[in-house]
Structure 1
């Protein structure tokens, strides 16, 4: 009986040792993203309806170089991430709005939204996801938030976004795949 307990204890220790060894995931260096959800909050300020949207995406990246620092003195504001560069924003959105389909009465289609101010959109920057520059696989969620006011859209307008992200690879950042959000109905209580 004593030897059986001794072997059981050794076997248990071996099982624990092997189960605690977790293999690092093997992701490609180009970020991969998946749409998770849209969190939507409605409020009114000075009689102007506003929706606060949080776009939630899941990411995987093999070398962990996602995100940009907000400190303008950092290298994350130098080329290719400088102001005016196509890589300045690392969370890139394209907005679509649902409109009637003239070719098919009673049907709707999505068209890219044309902002009244050239160069404006809901793209932006998300901060670094790793505290250091060590190359390591990362995975998790990015929650990207912004506000939409009723001065651009009407209550009941239906929108959706295409989204992709860039990493910090130099001289040309790696681009993720493009994902599409669910449809979002604006300013509905």
Structure 2
């Protein structure tokens, strides 16, 4: 009778071991990699009051892979981490560069809002290991009393807490408002 009780448990254990052996953790390099997934724009209607002008919100989506999963930071960023990033290029754990088309040539438009950017720790409280997924970054472009629509594209790169930088990803072009 004991044998009849043990056999179903052994069968379940055998199936569980078989299924768990089918999953192999990805083997990505410790330097993060990025790829362009998409760009989406939506318009936010003007509200009432100061600073409530009509604006376009542009969402940039990139895919990422990282072998040791050390992407992102605690938010707010600890002073020591902030200083380490500042000493190594002066930008945070991701960088967005904006380029607009002027006279048939893309020209970089340096924006203070993009000077030092951080996204949160993607694996907080989880064991070290390979990760992959997508991250959305948002940019806001305000319609002023006088504006012009410019074809615009972005370049994005990310870096991990070990300061390993990903490749640069370039987005498709989208038209957004700039002050005239």
**What is aligned with 1:113?**
109
RMSD: 2.9
Could you tell me how far 1:111 is from its partner in structure 2?
A: 1.5
Normalising by the residue count of structure 2, what TM-score does the alignment of the two structures yield?
Answer: 0.76
Total equivalences in the alignment: 162
The CA distance in 1 between the partners of 2:59 and 2:79, in whole Å, is: 27
Q: Normalised by the size of structure 1, how large is the TM-score? A: 0.72
- Following TM superposition, by how much is the alpha carbon of 1:16 offset from its aligned partner in structure 2, in angstroms? 6.9
Specify the alignment match of 2:151 in structure 1.
Answer: 158
CA deviation profile, 1:26-69 (whole Å, cap 9, x unmatched): 00000000000112111232573311111110000000000011
In structure 2, runs of 5+ residues without a counterpart are 1-9
1:35 matched residue in structure 2: 36
Distance change in 2, residues 1:96/1:73 (3 Å): closer
The residue aligned with 1:104 is none
Structure 1: unaligned runs, 5 residues or longer: 1-9, 101-107
C-alpha displacement at 1:109, in angstroms?
Answer: 2.2
Query: 2:85 corresponds to which residue?
Result: 81
Q: Is residue 92 from structure 1 mapped to residue 95 from structure 2 by the alignment?
A: yes
Structure 2 residue 114 is matched with structure 1 residue 122? yes
